[in-house]
A and B are shown apart, each in its own frame.
Chain A
Amino acid sequence: MVDLALKILLHDKLRFTITVAGVAFAVALVLSQVGLFFGLLSNATPTIRNASADLWVTSRNTPNVDFAHEFPETYVNRVRSIPGVSKADNLIVTFMNISLPNGAEEGGVFYALDDFSAWNLPWRVKEGNIQDLRRGEFIFLDESAKRRLGDFAMGDFREVQHNRLRIAGQSQDAKSFTTTPVSFIDFRRAQEMNPDLLKGNTSYILVKLAPGADASAVKAEINRRLPFNDVYTSNEWASKSEAYWIKNTGIGLNAFLAVFLGVLVGVVVVAQTLYTSTMEHIKEFGTVKAIGGSNADIYRILARQATIAAVLGFILGLGIAFAQKPAIEAMALKLIMPASTIAIVAIGTLLLCLASAMVSFRKVANVDPGLVFRS
């Protein structure tokens, strides 16, 4: 079968290059913006998703995991006595200032537990033993904190809220949405360091269910016993935390606008170039009809041209998006492009290119084969 569609496309290589480049630009824009969006969101909830808690008890209307409010730590005993609860512990999440060697101060978000190992926090330890935190004036810093706190090593000291703490180890991948460094300290140590706020208080209660326990029944019972708190499953709490950042920072709108712009650019470029190409080859389409071709034959030519532009543009755009990854990661950002997102963008690219080709369909449907008799 003679591939007239491809031959016409390649006949004007500059126009073909512009078409493919337009699609590639749109695909790269959409993938990188969506990838950045997912990357930012992944920083909003890593502690929720990695902690081995089935339920999180929070103070009423806590908007996200970083912005915790305190409530009495003794509430944990009410939770522990509920049938179906295997384990329940207090967790403090609080902001405190860290003094830097140069005299400046940086804010930090601190996770404080009695037994970190029991809750899989931190989930990746680069060096040190998390149990050492129980020994007193020790701190675990996340490796990513070096960007804000400067270089540090195990055994170094850092001053937190005017308390000198020794770095007992480093975790990895423990990040916050605001890029505030994440650290881990002992529960009692945290209360002592900020007694006005934390003495006798906690921020959350982590709950592990007994095997076979009914999560909704346990939730209902916790709600009954702690009527001024909220209870979420891990997924619910992660979704609520993500929704807060999406709604309140504009990243959701930003991602939507970027995707919209990418789609708009792609559709306009493909529609415009295919339409111009169709108009320039209108006599050839008239010839196709005159020698026995139908409108369907011409639609197939246009659809194939759109498909070729979509496939090549998508591959190039995907390559550009992946090529950006190292540069974006060097800025301590993440570009997350799940296979499902790539598949959706691929299908979307194809459908939008085909839709763009339809702009030309009406034109060729009305092509008069008698056109070929005119000089």
Chain B
Amino acid sequence: MTVLKGIDLTKAFHDGNVETQVLRGVSLELQAGEVVSLEGPSGSGKTTLLQILGCILSPSAGTLHIHQHKVDSNSKQLAAVRRRNIGFVFQQFNLFPSLSALENVQYAINLKGVKGPAAKNEAAALLDSVGLSDRARYLPRDLSGGQKQRVAIARALACKPSLLLADEPTANLDSTVGSQILELFRDLAKQENRALLIVTHDPKVRSIADRVLQIHDGRLQS
């Protein structure tokens, strides 16, 4: 089943009269349960593509479909699609430093309208699924890099997303922990039938990827 389909996506940024073409007609599809690695040198357009696929940016041209539905460029609709379908994992983790591990996950659940004990139980279950139930009350500053990334993954799963987008998820982790996180990603994609796109420089990602996409100068090269 196709989770995501981008057709001829282009993106240009303007700085005064200077136009910078970042994406040049990118088309791609992601299937449910599929793990895709997106690789490319710095400045090739990886992160811009990730933001468009994640409904954070709208493309200058081209169309994006999620579950067969065309995504409008209206910012409210982008936010709604993001909230319902997409989970993000960031290179910098981006956890809320003042919230415990459990609260970080619970807050994301609250945002989709679930409150009270139900949200807390769901957050605890998600933390358990990433093997961090014993660190639920720890603040991010008291967690290791790998543990922070696990919390971030649990938070990304809060909206039960059909699409997981990860931006350099192993960049700030040592090799062993990075491998463990990748294993976790693969399990989450396969067991729950989620599409997973990982933007990375890390060659280890290839070991869990069903497909590797290369991007250069804003163009995909298979």
A residues with CB within 8 A of B: 1-2, 4, 7-8, 10-11, 283-284, 287-294, 297, 368-370, 372-373, 375
CA distance A1 to B98 in the complex (A): 15
Per the bound structure, the CA–CA distance linking A373 and B76 in Å amounts to: 20
CB within 8 Å for A291 and B155 given contacts A2-B106, A372-B92, A373-B167:
yes
Q: Are A375 and B88 in contact (CB under 8 A)?
A: no
- Interface pair B111/A7, CB less than 8 Å apart: no
Do A1 and B116 contact each other (CB < 8 Å), given the known contacts A292-B159, A372-B90, A373-B167? yes
Residue among B57, B96, B97 having the largest count of chain A Cβ atoms under 10 Å: B96
Confirm or deny: B83 has a beta carbon within 8 angstroms of a beta carbon on chain A: yes
B201 contact set on A, CB distance < 8 A: none
How close is A291's CB to chain B, nearest CB, in angstroms?
A: 5
A-B contact pairs, 25 of them (CB 8 A): A1-B115, A1-B116, A1-B119, A2-B106, A2-B107, A2-B110, A4-B96, A4-B98, A7-B103, A8-B96, A11-B97, A283-B94, A287-B96, A290-B82, A290-B88, A290-B94, A291-B88, A291-B111, A291-B155, A292-B79, A292-B82, A292-B108, A292-B112, A292-B159, A370-B57
Complex Cα–Cα for A370 and B116 (A): 30
With A11-B97, A284-B96, A370-B56 as contacts: A1 and B51 at CB distance below 8 Å: no
Known contacts A7-B98, A372-B88; 16 additional CB pairs below 8 A are A1-B115, A2-B103, A2-B106, A2-B107, A4-B107, A7-B99, A283-B94, A290-B82, A290-B90, A291-B88, A292-B111, A293-B111, A294-B76, A297-B111, A373-B90, A373-B167
Interface string of B30-42 (1 = CB under 8 A from A): 0000000000000
Residue ID in chain B nearest A8 by CB atoms: B98
Q: How far is the CB of A12 from chain B (nearest CB, A)?
A: 9
With CB as the reference atom, state the residue of chain A lying closest to B88: A290
Residues of B within 8 A of A10 (CB): 98
- Please state if B94 and A372 are interface contacts (CB–CB under 8 Å): yes
Q: Per DSSP, are chain A's interface residues mostly helix, strand or loop, or mixed?
A: helix
Nearest Cβ in chain A — how far from B221, in angstroms?
22
Partner of A287, one of B83, B94, B119, B159: B94
Q: Mark B75-118 against chain A: 1 for CB-CB distance below 8 A, else 0.
A: 01001001110001011101011110001001110111001100
Instruction: Give, as a whole number of angstroms, the nearest-CB distance from A288 to chain B.
Output: 7
- Docked complex Cα distance between A374 and B84 (Å): 24
Q: Which residues of the partner chain B approach A290 to less than 8 Å between Cβ atoms? A: 54, 56, 82, 88, 90, 94
CB of B126 to closest CB in A, whole Å: 13
Q: For B98, list chain A residues within 8 Å (CB).
A: 4, 7-8, 10-11
Would B90 and A4 count as touching, CB distance under 8 A? Answer: no
B54 — nearest CB in chain A belongs to which residue?
A: A290
The yes or no answer to B50 lying at the interface (CB within 8 A) is yes
A8 partner residues in chain B, CB cutoff 8 A? 96, 98
Task: Chain A residues near B51: list those with CB within 8 A.
Answer: 370, 373
The chain A residue with its CB closest to the CB of B96 is A284
- A288 to chain B: which residues have CB within 8 Å? 111
Q: Contacts of B83 on A, CB cut-off 8 Å? A: 292
- Is there a chain A Cβ closer than 8 Å to B47's Cβ? yes
Most interface-central of A4, A7, A292, A372 (chain B CB within 10 A): A292
When chains A and B are docked, how far (Å) is the Cα of A289 from the Cα of B80?
10
Whether the Cβ atoms of B79 and A373 lie closer than 8 Å is: no
Of the candidates A4, A292, A293, A375, which one forms a contact with B99 in the assembled complex, judged by CB atoms under 8 Å apart?
Answer: A4
Complex Cα gap A294–B111 (Å): 9
Q: Contact between A373 and B47 (Cβ–Cβ < 8 Å)?
A: yes
Of chain A, the residue at the smallest CB distance from B50 is A373
* Residues B45-87 near A (CB distance < 8 A): 47, 50-51, 54, 56-57, 76, 79, 82-84
Bound Cα distance from A27 to B90, whole angstroms: 44
Which residues from chain B contact A368 at a C-beta distance below 8 Å? 56
Q: Are B92 and A289 in contact (CB under 8 A)?
A: no
CB distance from A300 to the nearest CB of B (A): 11
Chain B residues lying within 8 Å of A375, measured Cβ to Cβ, are: 91-92
Complex CA distance for A7 and B107, rounded to whole angstroms: 12
Report how far A294 CA is from B83 CA in the complex, Å: 9
A-chain residues with CB within 8 Å of residue B92 when the two chains form the complex: 372, 375
Closest to A10 in B: B98
Contact check, B111 vs A369: say whether CB atoms are below 8 A apart: no
Q: Measured between alpha carbons, how far is A293 from B112 in the docked complex, in Å? A: 8
